[in-house]
């Protein structure tokens, strides 16, 4: 049967209708062609973008970053020793977390910039450790500059300054973070070398100051949560100080009560045994000394002891602590902060870093301990002040550069206590650090013998043992930064005799007491140089009992001797302690940060209790 057609030439039967649809689909159509192209193009674009993004993300992985030996054999090994690789939380940061932005646009720009790194990979610019180290500072500066421009954007992907809780931070960290928010500093200003070998100290001081200058646009409003945490920790520390003060006052009252009771018993007691011809009992040989026997005649049993940690300082000098490329805390120190405000709770870590030669030490001594905990007690009578110091002895560690391994064979131990006089530049901030200079003996810029002989100060100083300790006030100038052949310090710029006499007269000196296990006690001071002598104003006794050293030093409260401080009850004095143990001498000692000392003085950190 033939198919019937209508006037429009369309097939009216179902078969014809299907055929018509097929013909229509086969005919070209602008509308349907555009849709097809859009669909195919969209799908292709998604596939292409997905493939590109997947490939780009693959370049952010640790295996990719360490696939070239430049990274694997250099910076990756350094990174593996840092807290960003392995830590107590188990959360590590990969290379891309620090070096690649998270948002797509900046990430894409960074990848374009990285093409230059690929070029240098292929031409072998940094393909050996030697080549890499020559370029290290340039590479580091590129990263530092980039992070400075972005307000440390990649750091802030994980660390948010405003969300930090200062009550769980060390004093240095909470102070620095608070100052950063106020002044406009950013993470990279303080945290260079956090994951790789630190080359910050290779920058000249001017470049460093420019690179780390605060920016007004980075100033942050200090959040209430941070201020609340700061208030809590300050309250807790204030309560601890009050508790310690109460402990000291209670001890003083107990001692006073004991003294009254002892006086009453003495009045009622019979004549001593010696008067009737009997010998007083002697302690058994080898017995531990009693509190009275090892205390210069005083009973120390009721006097509170304070633990003070002495740490190894290496070649960290007065100039060093004020120079930004050496000391990250130079900025707050130069603004007037005390060393102990930032470092009191991290001295052991500092000692470990320095004694290993990792920082501020060119000649480390194998096996030398990083720190020594000493127990300090103080007391005073109507005429004298007493200090009792105890610490654990150590096995002998020979010094490689000393004959026989002992720098001072005559003295197994020397203990020094130093007090800051009036008008000593930065004395209350740094304590005895103000006497240690970069051109002292065993220090980096120590002058050679011929330089000492020709020094303008040679006729007025005893230079037989090199430059000893001195105060900046006694020099017409002190070079802090050095460089370009200029030595740091001011040993050869001694002021005239009249100026020196005037400074000594007004109290610009450091008072020094010293115990020596192999010699007499010494009294001295530091001004133009260290001057030591004996004298009736200082007494000392010491003993090694088992593995414990006990040293007691005393001196007159009042003295008219040049270089001596006279102590007054209620006044505060800045003091420091230094220990030369294991036959050491010169700068190879352990030292304390500065402390406030006083005779029953309010706010003193080491208090002398009246006996």
Give 41-77 as a 3 state SS string. Answer: HHHHHHHHHHHHHHHHHHCCCHHHHCCCHHHHHHHHH
Residue 608 — left, alpha, or beta (φ > 0 → left; ψ -120 to 50 → alpha)?
beta
Distance CA 146, CA 154 (A): 10
| Residues 600-607, mean pLDDT to the nearest whole number | 91
**Taking 70 as the threshold, does the pLDDT of residue 369 lie above it?**
yes
What pLDDT, on a 0 to 100 scale, did the predictor assign at position 126? Answer: 85
Domain spans, the chain: 14-58, 62-222, 312-370+388-604
Residue 416: partners with Cβ closer than 8 Å, 6 or more residues away: 512, 513, 514, 515, 577, 578, 579, 580
Distance CA 141, CA 52 (A): 30
| Residues 382-402, mean pLDDT to the nearest whole number | 96
> Which contiguous run of DSSP H or E holds residue 18?
helix 14-26
Can you give the pTM of this predicted structure? Answer: 0.78
Percent of the chain exceeding pLDDT 90 equals 53
**Taking 90 as the threshold, does the pLDDT of residue 366 lie above it?**
yes
**Taking 50 as the threshold, does the pLDDT of residue 274 lie above it?**
no
What pLDDT, on a 0 to 100 scale, did the predictor assign at position 585? Answer: 96
Distance CA 174, CA 167 (A): 8
**Taking 80 as the threshold, does the pLDDT of residue 278 lie above it?**
no
Distance CA 489, CA 478 (A): 5
Distance CA 203, CA 404 (A): 40
Going by pLDDT thresholds of 50, 70 and 90, the confidence category of residue 213 is very high
What pLDDT, on a 0 to 100 scale, did the predictor assign at position 160? Answer: 87
Going by pLDDT thresholds of 50, 70 and 90, the confidence category of residue 26 is low
Closest Cα partner for 393 from 208, 550, 497, 548? Answer: 548
What pLDDT, on a 0 to 100 scale, did the predictor assign at position 251? Answer: 72
* pLDDT tens sequence across 534-547: 766 799 999 999 99
Contact 376, 370 (CB under 8 A): no
Closest Cα partner for 420 from 401, 402, 433? Answer: 433
C-alpha 450: how far from chain center: 36
Going by pLDDT thresholds of 50, 70 and 90, the confidence category of residue 204 is confident
Beta partners for 373?
309
**Taking 70 as the threshold, does the pLDDT of residue 480 lie above it?**
yes
Distance CA 437, CA 443 (A): 8
What pLDDT, on a 0 to 100 scale, did the predictor assign at position 568? Answer: 95
* Cβ-based neighbour number of residue 174 at 10 Å: 21
| Residues 396-401, mean pLDDT to the nearest whole number | 96
Q: Which residue has the higher pLDDT, 383 or 241?
A: 383
- Quote the DSSP letter at residue 402: S
Please identify which residue in the block is written with the tokens 């710029």: 493
**Taking 70 as the threshold, does the pLDDT of residue 31 lie above it?**
no
* Domain 62-222 listed as CATH 1.10.3820: yes
* pLDDT tens sequence across 291-323: 444 556 788 988 989 999 999 999 999 999 999
* 234 phi, psi to nearest 5 deg: -65, -35
Range name among 269-278, 393-402, 424-433 with the lowest pLDDT average: 269-278
Distance CA 609, CA 304 (A): 9
* 5 phi, psi to nearest 5 deg: -115, 145
Contact 376, 579 (CB under 8 A): no
Buried b (16+ CB within 10 A) or exposed e, 460-481: ebebeebbbbbbbbbbeebbbb
What pLDDT, on a 0 to 100 scale, did the predictor assign at position 286? Answer: 34
* pLDDT tens sequence across 453-477: 999 998 899 998 899 999 999 999 9
**Taking 60 as the threshold, does the pLDDT of residue 438 lie above it?**
yes
Residue 259: partners with Cβ closer than 8 Å, 6 or more residues away: 611
What pLDDT, on a 0 to 100 scale, did the predictor assign at position 37? Answer: 73
What pLDDT, on a 0 to 100 scale, did the predictor assign at position 40? Answer: 73
Q: Provide the 3-class DSSP secondary structure of residue 479.
A: strand
Beta partners for 475?
494
Distance CA 588, CA 268 (A): 54
Going by pLDDT thresholds of 50, 70 and 90, the confidence category of residue 273 is very low
What pLDDT, on a 0 to 100 scale, did the predictor assign at position 14? Answer: 63
* pLDDT tens sequence across 106-135: 888 887 887 787 788 888 888 888 888 899
| Residues 5-31, mean pLDDT to the nearest whole number | 58
Percent of the chain exceeding pLDDT 70 equals 86
Q: Which residue has the higher pLDDT, 566 or 277?
A: 566
Q: What average pLDDT does the chain have? A: 86
């Amino acid at each position: 049967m033939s198919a019937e057609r209508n006037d429009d030439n369309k097939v009216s039967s179902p078969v014809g209708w299907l055929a018509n649809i097929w013909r229509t689909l086969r005919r070209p159509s602008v509308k349907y062609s555009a849709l097809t192209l859009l669909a195919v193009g969209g799908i292709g674009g998604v596939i292409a973008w997905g493939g590109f993004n997947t490939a780009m993300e693959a370049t952010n992985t640790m295996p990719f970053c360490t696939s070239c030996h430049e990274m694997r054999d250099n910076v990756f090994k350094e990174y593996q020793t840092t807290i960003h690789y392995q830590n107590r939380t188990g959360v590590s940061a990969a290379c891309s977390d620090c070096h690649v932005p998270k948002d797509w646009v900046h990430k894409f720009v960074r990848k374009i910039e990285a093409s230059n790194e690929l070029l240098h990979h292929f031409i072998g610019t940094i393909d050996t450790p030697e080549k890499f180290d020559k370029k290290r500072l340039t590479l580091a500066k590129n990263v530092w500059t980039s992070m400075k421009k972005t307000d440390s954007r990649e750091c802030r992907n994980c660390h948010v300054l405003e969300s930090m809780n200062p009550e769980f931070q060390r004093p240095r960290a909470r102070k620095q973070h608070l100052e950063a928010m106020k002044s406009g500093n950013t993470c990279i200003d303080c945290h260079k070398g956090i994951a790789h070998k630190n080359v910050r100290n290779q920058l000249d001081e001017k470049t460093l100051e420019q690179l780390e200058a605060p920016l007004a646009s980075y100033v942050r409003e200090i959040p209430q949560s941070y201020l609340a945490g700061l208030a809590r920790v300050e309250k807790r520390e204030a309560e601890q100080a009050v508790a310690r003060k109460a402990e000291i006052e209670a001890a003083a009252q107990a001692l006073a009560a004991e003294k009254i009771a002892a006086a009453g018993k003495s009045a009622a007691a019979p004549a001593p045994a010696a008067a009737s011809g009997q010998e007083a009992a002697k302690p058994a040989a080898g017995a531990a000394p009693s509190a009275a026997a090892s205390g210069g005649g005083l009973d120390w049993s009721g006097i509170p002891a304070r633990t003070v940690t002495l740490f190894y300082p290496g070649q960290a000098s007065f100039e060093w602590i004020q120079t930004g490329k050496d000391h990250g805390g130079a900025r707050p120190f130069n603004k007037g902060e005390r060393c102990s405000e930032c470092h009191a709770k991290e001295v052991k870590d500092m000692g470990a870093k320095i004694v290993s030669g990792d920082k501020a030490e060119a000649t480390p001594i194998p096996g030398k301990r990083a720190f020594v905990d000493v127990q300090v007690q103080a007391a005073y009578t109507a005429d004298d002040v007493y200090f009792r110091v105890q610490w654990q002895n150590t096995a002998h560690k020979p010094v490689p550069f000393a004959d026989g391994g002992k720098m001072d064979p005559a003295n197994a131990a020397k203990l020094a206590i130093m007090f800051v006089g009036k008008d000593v530049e930065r004395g209350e901030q740094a304590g005895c650090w103000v006497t240690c200079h970069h051109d002292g003996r065993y220090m980096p810029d120590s002058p050679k013998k011929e330089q000492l002989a020709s020094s303008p100060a040679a006729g007025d100083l005893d230079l037989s043992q090199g430059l000893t300790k001195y105060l900046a006030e006694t020099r017409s100038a002190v070079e802090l930064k050095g460089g370009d052949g200029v030595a740091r310090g001011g040993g050869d710029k001694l002021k005239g005799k009249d100026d020196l006499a005037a400074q000594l007269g007004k109290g610009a000196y450091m008072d020094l007491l010293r115990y020596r296990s192999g010699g007499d006690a010494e009294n001295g001071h530091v001004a133009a140089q260290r001057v030591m002598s004996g004298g009736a104003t200082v007494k000392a006794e010491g003993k090694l009992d088992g593995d414990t050293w006990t040293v007691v030093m005393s001196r007159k409260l009042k003295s008219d001797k040049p270089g001596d401080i006279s102590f007054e009850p209620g006044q505060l004095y800045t003091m420091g302690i230094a220990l030369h143990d294991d036959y050491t001498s010169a700068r190879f000692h352990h030292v304390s940060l500065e402390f406030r000392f006083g005779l029953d003085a309010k706010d003193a950190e080491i208090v002398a209790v009246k006996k």
